Structure 1
């Protein structure tokens, strides 16, 4: 069976990584991208058998891009490493890409309880999904912190954002390239620790600003 690499962008996720790595099914290769952590993120990742690369340039998009460049498998899946996602559900997102049924597959978040998705994040996501749907002509339900595609094709999109606009740019660029974008629900749980990007309403506002800027630039 075709190998798959799980790319985990990480900034100070030492507390969450044991749960995340233990949830990933056997047969998936794991690549942790250490985005300048000051905790034991890299050490914990290696203890659990994950490969680790360093990305000193801060930013979610920078870490994702570094992970794609370092990955060695044809199919890759980008997944948040904060404990909010269940690695056991990776096949839902990966298999349609591996089987050729989708070019980009998005795990659309289904919160398991209200604490998993505060109101300001639900509101921001709904608005961005609406704007993305208008921009792409496809019904986008969620930007999705779990996304799968073929590595070389992702790199060929020439994504430029190195901050929190990266997921939106991925969707816009894929739609512009004529990709078939699929979506499937995945469970979304309260993260372990506080978000570095959207842990407050102001943080969510900044993320929305970055994402809108990316859509305007494309």
Structure 2
């Protein structure tokens, strides 16, 4: 994409030799999460030697605080628990369709504890987190069907549940104040419609359409998203 950078307030520029190259990521979205307690951003990207680099960046200044190269496998997504002040990561293993959910030690970048192993599921970049129920939510693929997965990050962890869903999600964001999972998707039943809805795990699908983002087939929703819990705005 050709982006006009004049529309952004660029705080700082980071060297890809230091933090990895986002163009080298395996999945559609760069693993990124934010710690509001310390105002830092965590990102993960491979360098040109395909070595995963976990970077800690000051969110206000954009200055690089530290980098870690202690995790050898690809980091698929990152989530931060704002109440427990813990960093979690969904990580590939050497085995195909076997991934780990782990807590990361923010002091050294090492895996502190493996909280769950997800078997026989192809990973995707989509994830969200609930700091109240302390669950890491994932979208996986099994037998060419999307599966909604919940992994505990407390009480020694463990995969809590897997639920097949009847649509193809694009992104997901959890509102921990209302215990609502919002998800974007594209409906192509009659025409191309980009929508946002509420995911019901019991039903295995959308229980309520919140709104239509676009009915223009040339303007479709992408995986890039964020959620403002205070204002209840999905970006």
Q: TM-score of the superposition, structure 1-length normalised?
A: 0.29
Structure 1 or 2, whichever has the larger Rg, is 2
Relative contact order: is structure 1 or structure 2 higher (C-alpha 8 Å, sep ≥ 6)? Answer: 1
More strand per residue: 1 or 2? 2
